[in-house]
Amino acid sequence: MTQQKDKTITGFSKLSKRGKIKWIVENFFQHPETVMRELKSYWLANEDHQKILDGISENTISNYHLPYGVAPNFVINGKTYAVPMVTEESSVVAAASSASKFWLSRGGIHAEVIGTVKLGQVHFFFRGKKSTIVGCLPALREYLHEHTQDLTANMRKRGGGVLDIQLKDFTHQMPDYYQLLVSFETCDSMGANFINSVLERYAQSLGHFFHEVLGVPEDQVEVLMSILSNYTPDSLVRAWVECPVEELGEFKGGIGPREFATRFCHAVRIAEIDTYRAATHNKGIFNGIDAVVIATGNDFRAIEACGHAYAVRDGQYRSLSGCEVKEGIFRFWLEVPLAVGTVGGLTSLHPIAKRSFELLGNPTASELMMIIGAVGLAQNFSALRSLVTTGIQDGHMRMHLSNILVKLNASAEEADATRAHFADKQVSYQAVRDYLMTLREPATKGQIQTP
């Protein structure tokens, strides 16, 4: 029996980047030198940029690259954008671009911000008399307000700050459990640090308030935790497109505008009534949303968590988009909560995120919400348009063809020939491989080398 090498380590984080890579490749890879060279080759050419990335997360040994694409022709409320998108899924950027182009000649995409309110909570137990806590909110608000003046001064200067504090009684679900639900306006920042700092100060001040102002013994108040809530249903954007049904035009498969509108609305309706379909439908929306959120250095996990919580707000998980045909007008809309920032955090740190903002004309957070909402809508439109006409595999496999060609080491000439060959044929990995073999036959006797 061979004894397994101990692959645990203490002090990994204290090693230099080179030291970390050396330890990793020597312990986990069969060809340490090769892997070490490869991982180092992904370090950014620019040492300063590399330092920034190393400072963003811990134990970095290299960079994980994702494609940075652009979807042009997004006309939103009359303004034209070329939208940066980071995604690993082929056909997402092409689908967004195709939808934006479709709506370009039909009035573009419309969007409005319905609200920008962010939320946070202080969770605590109060073991005193209920009558003490019930009427205390006005005084508590005042007390907390006074004790956070220093923390909120800057945000107030920018037009934001704490909007309201609510006291929530959950004692019917958990003994003695109450909550402060605090709403914030954080202007152009996502505001996580601001919100959490204010909440932690509230948490400290809460005990003092009950003890000093209301005379409650200290052991009757226990703060459990304080943290922002990623569910921000009032940080909401609405994006929509509309045109007379006849202007939708003709679609593949001989589908006319009326039939298309009906089939499209049915597809949306199914995502409203069936959760299995709704999850896939909304995933398609987030294909677009996440790509812009990542390209602009925002927190895509927060955005996803919030969007899915919103999709289930009435107790059943449903479509985030809606559709109708009324009096001859086709209308398709998306309503999604988006808590994003255009200043602070990664937005001003990540070298490419900074370029994304420049590309978008340095938008405010509200403008960015509208851009992201419009891309989510466009993505959903493209997916449903394909699904109710040709199906998605046709277009998808054509995009996938590029990946297959890279994987099979196709030269530029081989790639051109293969694309031409598959222009009117179904793409599959096996079919592309077989075709490449026929191209290479004389030289390689049918051998395909994959990396």
Query: What gap in Å lies between CA 216 and CA 204, rounded to an integer?
Result: 15
Identity of the residue, 370 or 388, whose beta carbon is nearer to ligand MEV in the bound complex: 388
Distances (CA, A) of 412 to 47, 140, 417, 427, 449: 33, 70, 9, 18, 16
399 belongs to the binding site for ligand MEV (CB under 6 A): no
Task: Identify the active-site residue in 185, 188, 290, 299.
Answer: 299
Query: Which residue in 283, 398, 407, 421 binds ligand MEV (CB under 6 A)?
Result: 283
Shortest distance, position 247 Cβ to ligand MEV, whole Å: 23
Q: Which of 118, 123, 201, 281 binds ligand MEV (CB under 6 A)?
A: 281
CB of 89 to ligand MEV, least distance (A): 6
Contact between 331 and ligand MEV by CB under 6 A: the answer reads no
* Active-site entry in 89, 169, 434, 441: 89
Interaction of residue 383 with ligand MEV, rule CB under 6 A: yes
Shortest Å, Cβ 248 to ligand MEV:
18
121, 190, 448 from 341: Cα distances, Å: 20, 4, 48
Candidate ranges 19-27, 109-117, 152-160, 276-284; the one touching ligand MEV (CB under 6 A): 276-284
Contact call for residue 437 and ligand MEV (CB under 6 A): no
Residues 6 or more apart whose Cβ sits within 8 Å of residue 85:
68, 69, 70, 71, 92, 93, 96, 288, 291, 292, 295, 375
Residue among 104 and 387 whose Cβ is closer to ligand MEV: 387
Rounded to the nearest whole angstrom, what is the least distance from the CB of residue 17 to ligand MEV in the complex?
35
Told to check if 365 binds ligand MEV by CB under 6 A, we report no
User: What residues from 87 to 106 belong to the interface with ligand MEV (CB under 6 A)?
Assistant: 89
Whether 89 is catalytic is yes
Taking the C-alpha atoms of residue 413 and residue 290, their distance in angstroms, rounded to an integer, is: 35
Q: Is 22 buried (19+), middle (13-18) or exposed (0-12) by CB count in 10 A? A: middle
Q: Please select the residue that binds ligand MEV; options are 84, 108, 160, 284, rule is CB under 6 A.
A: 284
Dihedral angle, C-alpha 290, 294, 295, 298, nearest 10 °: 110
Query: Comparing C-alpha atoms, which of 406, 404, 383 is closest to residue 395?
Result: 383
Output 34 or 280, the one with its CB closest to ligand MEV.
280
Burial of 96 (0-12, 13-18, 19+ CB in 10 A): buried
Q: Which stretch binds ligand MEV (CB under 6 A): 117-125, 149-157, 188-196, 280-288?
A: 280-288
Q: Which is nearer to ligand MEV, 227 or 387 (CB)?
A: 387
Asked about 33 being catalytic, the answer comes back as: no
Whole-angstrom Cα distance, residue 188 to residue 104? 28
Out of 15, 214, 279, 392, the residue judged to bind ligand MEV by CB under 6 A: 392
In the annotation, is 434 catalytic?
no
Least distance to ligand MEV, CB of residue 283, Å: 6
Cα gap 93→287, rounded to integer Å: 9
How far is 123 from 137, CA to CA, in rounded Å? 15
Residue 287 contacts ligand MEV per CB under 6 A: yes
Q: Which one of 101, 211, 354, 396 is the catalytic residue?
A: 396
Q: Which is nearer to ligand MEV, 75 or 291 (CB)?
A: 291
The count of chain residues that interact with ligand MEV, using the rule CB under 6 A, is 9
**Radius of gyration (C-alpha) of the chain in whole angstroms:** 27
- The values of phi and psi at residue 110, to 5°, are -110, 150
The one catalytic residue among 283, 308, 354, 421: 283
Smallest gap from residue 92 Cβ to ligand MEV (A): 7
Chain position carrying tokens 């945000």: 155
> CB under 6 A: which stretch of 278-286, 291-299, 369-377, 437-445 binds ligand MEV?
278-286
State the amino acid at position 376 in one-letter form. Answer: G
Annotation says 147 is catalytic: no
Q: Which residues contact 219 (CB under 8 A, 6 or more apart)?
A: 127
Q: Nearest 10 degrees: CA dihedral of 376, 85, 286, 380? A: 40
Pairing mode, if any, of strands 68-76 and 79-86?
antiparallel
Closest residue by beta carbon to ligand MEV: 284
Residues near ligand MEV (CB under 6 A) are 89, 280-281, 283-284, 287, 383, 387, 392
Query: Which residues carry out catalysis?
Result: 89, 283, 299, 396
